[in-house]
Amino acid sequence: MTKPSAMMDRTDEALADLAAHPPAPPAMSGAFDAVLAELAPVAARRPWRHAAIVGTVALAYAGGLLAVIAMRRDLHELPMGWLVGVGILWLAGFVVPSTLALVPRAGHIAPRWRAAAIVSVVSSALFVVLGLLVHPSGPSSGYLGPENFIRGHGCLELGLATAIAPALLGAIFLRGSLPVRSRWVAAALGAGGGSLGGLVLHLHCRIADGMHVGLVHGGVVVVGALLAALLLPRITDGPLE
């Protein structure tokens, strides 16, 4: 749909005139000459490679943690479908937000902050609700209940300790790539790391009451996302400050 070129709106005419007469930029300042005189090649960002590194390091770190703290005692008493299904969901909760945070669309530099934001919010809510509603137990499972809810804080700390590795590494790889909306991308890294923490807790913690599984295990994703949104932009935005 175009207007006949012979009859232009006054506004279009003014805008076209402004567009056709861009200002003359000033000469590059002397600061650039000094910098460019010592210009050295740098390696470009390789998003898929960085995502693979984050995934490998994070899974090795989580596996190492599990080896140290041991698997849950009631593992063989729980429904295999729930154990595997929820385990895959936790893993997907790590892989999907982390990939969205680290890998931009083809031909772009900045990652998909909007998709990362949506996935962060959805996964945060999903794991809390899932834990509150579905939490099977066996004879060896533990129970804290509302009165001892606060005693479950160790799980939150373990989950966040697991989340640190992928979130921090991802933020380092994203340095300078996020001029806008870096908090949302950081939140996705935190939610992804938190989900990995949730996976470790899923395989380690034998406490099987809904409040603990939902609010503490699921809460690791929420707290991970919030802390990452608050702290990681200090790393990602460094070159842009």
Residues near another protein, by CB under 8 A:
1-3, 5-26, 28-29, 31-32, 35-37, 39-47, 104, 106-110, 113-114, 174-177, 179-181, 239-240
Q: Max alpha carbon distance in the chain (Å)?
A: 84
CB of 159 to another protein, least distance (A): 30
Q: Which is nearer to another protein, 19 or 68 (CB)?
A: 19
What's the token pair of residue 196? 């990995």
- Spatial distance between the Cα atoms of 180 and 99, rounded to a whole number of angstroms: 18
Query: Which CB, 76 or 114, lies closer to another protein?
Result: 114
Shortest CB 81 distance to another protein, Å: 39
Sign of the four-CA dihedral 73, 82, 203, 127: negative
Phi-psi category of 153—alpha, beta or left, where left has phi over 0 and alpha has psi -120 to 50? alpha
**Residue with Cβ nearer another protein (46 or 76):** 46
Closest distance to another protein from the beta carbon of 14 (Å): 3
Distance of closest approach, residue 238 Cβ to another protein, in angstroms: 8
Specify the DSSP class assigned to residue 240.
G
Nearer to another protein, 39 or 80 (CB): 39
Give min distance, CB of 237 to another protein, in A: 9
Bridge-partner residues for 142, per DSSP?
207
CB nearer another protein, residue 21 or residue 146: 21
Answer whether 150's CB lies under 8 Å from 217's CB: no
Residue with Cβ nearer another protein (125 or 180): 180
Length in residues, the chain: 241
Cα angle for residues 213, 216, 217 (degrees, 5° grid): 60
Which secondary structure element, helix H or strand E, spans residue 42, and what is its range?
none
- Shortest reach from residue 229's CB to another protein, in Å: 14
Structure tokens at 174: 């994203």
